[in-house]
Each structure stands twice: as C-alpha cells, then as structure tokens.
Amino acid sequence: MQIHILSENNSVLNHFLGQIRNVEIHNDSMRFRRNIERIGEIMAYELSKELHYKTVAIQSPLGIKKTTEIEDQLVLCSILRAGLPLHLGFLNYFDNAENGFISAYRHHPNNDDYFDILVEYQAVADINNKNLLLLDPMLATGQSIVAVFNKLMEKGTPKEIHVAVIIAAPEGIAYLEEHLPDSCHLWVAALDEKLNEHKYIVPGLGDAGDLAYGNKL
C-alpha cells in the first residue's frame, strides 16, 4: 500500500485540522462541516497529482492552447453519514466524477466494547475499470473501510483504488495494509497517536458524524 501523510509538510491544511479538533471551535456544526469540506478540497488536489492525464487543445478567444486534463474516470464513494462533507469537498474539485454512498456503522450486540460492522444502504455507480475513491473522515480500527471495500468489490473491479481519510490511527493503517490490495493508495491528512480502550482515536476530534450533523439516538 502506498501511504501519503499530507500534514507532514506545513500548509493551510494544518490550520483547518486544528480547527476541527479544537473544542472551542468544532461544536459549531456549520463551521465543522465547512472545514471538513475544505480539507477534502486540499486532499483532492494532492490526490490529483497521482491521476492520469491526456493532452487536449483548448480554443480560447484568441487562439489554441495545448494543456492537459484528467483522463481517468472517477467514482467518489463516501461512508454515511460522516463522509458527506468530505465527499462534497472532493466533488468540488472532481466535478465530473460519478458518485456512490454506502452506510457502515459499529453494531454493539452485547452493549459492551465489542462490535462488528454492519454495511446496509448503498447506492453506488458502476466502478468497473474506473478509479474508486473511498472517503471516510476517520480511520480508527479500519474495519468499516474494509467491510465497505469488500461490499463494493461484489459490484465490480476498479482500475485504481484510493482511500482518503482525515485522521488515522496507526492500528487502522496496519489493518488496511493487511486487508487491502498492495496497489491501493491511502491518503491521510493527519496521523494520530493510538486508539483508546474503546477503539476511538487519541487525540482525534470526537465523533465526526455528531459534530457535523448532531447527536444520534
């Protein structure tokens, strides 16, 4: 797996990452969503450097200019519900992409720390021979992304696979390396310290879905 950690170099990305963590700021849900969207835009720009391009001739009012444009067909697929503002950020830049949405959540059958991942609702474009971009703000254990990936592979075979997350734990990265193809690209805005005993990222930011859309029952 090819891993890209974007916050290792200083940029405005780190400013937005600080705001989504900051307890004095991130409870403003509109601002939180917008910052996630901004981070998605920055990640889309960085990811675009790894795509394939073709040469085109553009007619301007005064002449013809040869340039390049993206050749790959992209499918953006976000994990509901926390992935929606991240999805929007990517879509702002990859505006010709097709889209998919899939739900995955932790199910605690015994009302304790043990959980399994349930993948239910899905509405996904054809992914065959296209570049699949799987989007989820948080990579904790990695089980949700792997479960979603396996479900998507039942629908087709993409040409390339890119997984984009905002905050990741080392344990989640190790799990993806074990269960996803070696050719997969993993894009991480920030790598955090560890998971706690409840399998949440430390220092993390809290529950991204709740911060974006309100507490769930």
Q: Can the peptide bond before residue 203 be classed as cis, meaning omega within 30 degrees of 0?
A: yes
Better-predicted residue by pLDDT, 3 or 116: 3
CB 127 within 8 A of CB 155: yes
Residue 22 clears pLDDT 80, i.e. is over it: yes
Residue 44 clears pLDDT 90, i.e. is over it: yes
Return all residues near 150 (Cβ < 8 A) that are at least 6 apart: none
Give residue 132's pLDDT band: very low, low, confident or very high (50, 70, 90).
very high
pLDDT at 216: 79
134: which strand partners? 77, 163
Architecture of domain 2-51+70-213: 3-Layer(aba) Sandwich (3.40)
Residue 2: burial class (beta carbons within 10 Å; 0-12, 13-18, 19+): exposed
Q: What are phi and psi of 23, to 5 degrees?
A: -65, -15
Q: 104-123, pLDDT tens digit by residue?
A: 876 666 666 666 777 888 89
Share of the chain above pLDDT 90, in %: 86
pLDDT at 114: 64
Task: Give the predicted TM-score (pTM) of the model.
Answer: 0.93
pLDDT at 106: 66
Q: What is the mean pLDDT of the chain?
A: 94
Q: How many CB atoms lie within 10 A of CB 122?
A: 17
Which residue in the block uniquely carries the two structure tokens 């505006």? Answer: 95
Domain extents in the chain: 2-51+70-213
Find the radius of gyration of the CA atoms of the chain.
18
Q: 161-207, pLDDT tens digit by residue?
A: 999 999 999 999 999 999 999 999 999 999 999 999 988 999 999 99
Interval 133-161 mean pLDDT: 94
